[in-house]
Structure 1
Amino acid sequence: VAKWLKKVGDKVEEGDILAEIETDKATMEFESFHEGTLLHIGIQEGEGAPVDSLLAVIGPEGTDVDAVLSAHAGSGASDESAQQPTEEKQQQAPKEDKPAESMQTSGQNGQRIFVSPLAKKIASEKGIDLSQVKGTGDHGRIIKRDVDNYQPSEQKAASAETQVQEASTTSVAPVQLPVGEESTEEVKNSQMRKVIAKRLSESKFTAPHYYLTIEVDMDNAKASRAQINELPDTKVSFNDMVLKACAMALKKHPQVNTSWNGDTTIYNHHVHMGVAVAVDDGLVVPVLKFADQMSLTQIGSAVKDLAGRARNKKIKPDEMEGSTFTVSNLGMFGILEFTSIINQPNSAILSVGAIVDKPVVKNGQIVAGSAMKITLACDHRTVDGATGAQFLQTLRAYLENPVTMLA
């Protein structure tokens, strides 16, 4: 459970989002199938549990929760006894914390300063000397308002001006070194981040990667895209064209559309294209099923839908399974070329760079042109160098002459 969006005692309607649930592949929102009151939370934030574990209890107010838990797992009594002392401690905690609402610190001249913890924290972040702040709280205690309203005094400004004048009269100015505070923060890794680390490490260290890079003339692709997008209700991106070209090239080079299986190699006769999508928690790979049978507009609509739902945590796990080839595009970030780690059990992944306007040689003349670099990472267990090179040649032919993709 990544995060609870409801707490015990809240009213719940059918369709309300109860919590965010992390799986190996994504973080998804969990909707309530019933209406009532949230009576019990079975799995706390940050905790994991097997499938079919008790997540929560929803029902009418006054329901005997212990009886429900006893019927489910036979452990209602022990749960109740474990929770009761915890609640008592929580109720007593505020009384014990009262004396700590103000704390003492000492200024540069050794005098004691009474300041609230929050005010001290804010002053530390802003670099304010608390000995220069006048407290308006009880017994002259410095509170948050005093730090927020603090303005450097004229005396401090005057002393600074005097120091500057004295420094200018000396022959050698002192070196002003930066003064700061080192700080770090340790953040717990999400389940998605752990899975990304595990699977990419396994891929990199078990599959012998090698890389092939070519440059593609994108002049015709730009012209074709402009004509296609002039059609009503039509929007095609360069990435859509790359996906379509890859799907068609895979049908001509089935060796690239394979999976290593130890003693055997699996040849996939279908083409399922994985599309790498960046999300807040990491990276997900929605899959376009039977992409070779889709038109450019169908690919564009499907990618937009899948990517949008992936970022909104609405995508289903089965929509991220079964890819036979993957495309990762960082061109929109201005990346010229890069290499990717193979998304196993795929045998290859294509890395797409930015389209760059630059001088090129055509028919012996230097003219303005548009070029894009693409890099194919291959698993040498299934795809040899010549096979990967031939695949890239076919892919370049499709991209440099997009009309051939319509034949």
Structure 2
Amino acid sequence: MAINIQMPALSPTMEEGSLAKWLVKEGDTVKSGDLLAEIETDKATMEFEAVDEGVIASILVAEGTDGVKVGTVIATLTVEGEEAAAPAAKAEAPQAEAPKADPTPAPKAEVTPAPKADAVPAKAAPSDGERVKASPLARRLAQASGLDLTSVQGSGPNGRIVKADLESAKPAAQSAPAAAAPSAAPVAQPAAQAPSGGQDFGIPHEAVKLSGMRKTIARRLTESKQTVPHIYLTVDIRLDNLLKLREQLNASLSGRGIKLSVNDLLIKALAVSLLQVPECNVQFAGDTLLKFQRTDISVAVSIPSGLITPIITDAGTKGVAAISAEMKDLAARAKDGKLKPEEYQGGTASLSNMGMFGIKQFEAVINPPQAMIMAIGAGEKRPYIVDDALGVATVMSATGSFDHRAIDGADGAKLMKAFKALVENPLSMLA
């Protein structure tokens, strides 16, 4: 009996994913623990392992297919013994029918054209009222250009007609509509150029399909701005003492191959400030407020496909060297799409640093369901009051975005004050 291999749920919230790549092919023998495929979720690409042992009998979902629902059968597996027995059974069936063909005349034995005759009506069947299988984009393009979808052979899953099928069919199929209604062709052209519903105004462009990650980012940030009342609080922070401490720590840690970044120290500062102001280490949950006893800091990392936030767990109690090593490992695996769901899902607050791009100040969008995010700008030389005298100091602007349903402005201000004090007197957060 064939064993169905289903699209797995690689995280508690996963509902669908993209089958990025098959690592096996039909006929391959696999055992438990062998890698079968790479599955792309909204945040990472993860490897899918075999549970049972056997032979890949069929692959039902092609690699590159998006939006595959969890639980969908993507392939079938048979036990090796059954795989060998199945062809033998099929081979015996024609031999069993052969004796029946002997007493009958030869013309009756040549009923092989019958399947060919059946195949012709099968192609024409969609024109008799059945719904043609085609993607929404293919339908819009066909309608705009006057193509008859029943005359197009689909190359997508289960014979579904996709955009590429129409492009190969256009030269032959467009001539008849053009002759019948020449005035329709110019009107249809703009619609075909902007299949997404937008207007391109005739500007040369390329339509790029959104990745699962980009779709998730769009959905979650739209939800955040529409449903979370943001309040923004900004402070200017002098960095000179932190930069000196970083230099001293790196000199002492050089033998261990550790090099602290400013961001590592800011992660620690945010975590400690949340411990000092626990009113901000919370989450709004409808009619309840979740108060966390641990500070798990989500750190924004830019990767080619979008943005991901790996988590430094319990950052408030970790040393800066441990935070630095952990952050480097998480960032490297994030860029390779190899993070586990628990390494980027959760967190009690976020930190986003755009100082390396020279951004002076910005207001970050809260990462739901969290209740705050700290936005870090670039450190730069500025006129600054030092010991009641005007001088020059290295200063950065930090802006906290707070969910006003969970955090009052006064509590947010306390957190910003605590964060500023820790950064300006960094030894206090290492005690």
TM-score past 0.5 threshold: yes
Instruction: Find 1:358's aligned residue among 377, 382, 385.
Output: 382
Q: Tell me if structure 1 keeps the 8 A contact 2:56–2:76.
A: yes
Distance 1:281 1:36 in 2: 35
Q: Tell me if structure 2 keeps the 8 A contact 1:326–1:349.
A: yes
Q: Tell me if structure 1 keeps the 8 A contact 2:24–2:37.
A: no
For structure 2, list consecutive stretches of 5 or more residues without a partner in the other structure.
1-17, 88-117, 124-152, 156-167, 172-201
Q: Tell me if structure 1 keeps the 8 A contact 2:23–2:38.
A: no
**SS across alignment from 1:4:** strand
**SS across alignment from 2:217:** helix
Q: Verify: 1:405 aligned to 2:423, yes or no.
A: no
Instruction: Find 1:48's aligned residue among 45, 58, 67.
Output: 67
Instruction: Find 1:198's aligned residue among 206, 214, 219.
Output: 219
Quote how far apart the aligned CAs of 1:4 are. Answer: 2.0
What per-residue deviation string (whole Å, max 9, x for no partner) do you get for residues 31-86 of structure 1? Answer: 56789875532222223333343333467999749969xxxxxxxxxxxx99xx99
**SS across alignment from 1:346:** coil
2:329 maps to: 305
Quote how far apart the aligned CAs of 1:27 are. Answer: 2.8
What per-residue deviation string (whole Å, max 9, x for no partner) do you get for residues 270-321 of structure 1? Answer: 2111111112211111112111111101111111111111111111011112
Quote how far apart the aligned CAs of 1:393 are. Answer: 0.7
1:177 maps to: none
Aligned residue pairs total: 305
Percentage identity across paired residues of the two chains = 38
2:103 maps to: none
Instruction: Find 1:4's aligned residue among 21, 30, 53.
Output: 21
Question: Structure 2 matches for 1:145-160, cutoff 5 A?
Answer: none
* TM-score, normalised via structure 1 length: 0.66
Distance 1:190 1:2 in 2: 12
Distance 1:228 1:215 in 2: 24
Question: Structure 2 matches for 1:233-382, cutoff 5 A?
Answer: 233=256, 234-382=258-406
2:45 maps to: 27
1:328 is aligned with what amino acid? S
What per-residue deviation string (whole Å, max 9, x for no partner) do you get for residues 223-242 of structure 1? Answer: 00000000222311111111
Q: Tell me if structure 2 keeps the 8 A contact 1:325–1:347.
A: yes
What per-residue deviation string (whole Å, max 9, x for no partner) do you get for residues 243-290 of structure 1? Answer: 111111111111111111222211111211111111221111111211
* TM-score, normalised via structure 2 length: 0.63
**SS across alignment from 1:183:** coil
1:221 maps to: 242
Root-mean-square deviation (Å): 3.4
Distance 1:191 1:284 in 2: 12
2:174 maps to: none
Q: Tell me if structure 1 keeps the 8 A contact 2:234–2:400.
A: yes
For structure 1, list consecutive stretches of 5 or more residues without a partner in the other structure.
69-80, 91-99, 104-180
From the superposition, tell whether residues 332 and 34 of structure 1 become closer, same or farther in structure 2 (CA, over 3 Å).
farther
From the superposition, tell whether residues 258 and 43 of structure 1 become closer, same or farther in structure 2 (CA, over 3 Å).
same
Q: Verify: 1:184 aligned to 2:205, yes or no.
A: yes
From the superposition, tell whether residues 371 and 66 of structure 1 become closer, same or farther in structure 2 (CA, over 3 Å).
farther
What per-residue deviation string (whole Å, max 9, x for no partner) do you get for residues 159-205 of structure 1? Answer: xxxxxxxxxxxxxxxxxxxxxx8422222222221111111111111
Range with bigger deviation, 230-239 or 292-301: 230-239
Q: Tell me if structure 2 keeps the 8 A contact 1:326–1:348.
A: yes
Distance 1:195 1:28 in 2: 17
Q: Verify: 1:394 aligned to 2:411, yes or no.
A: no
**SS across alignment from 2:251:** coil
2:175 maps to: none
Quote how far apart the aligned CAs of 1:379 are. Answer: 0.9
Distance 1:35 1:184 in 2: 48
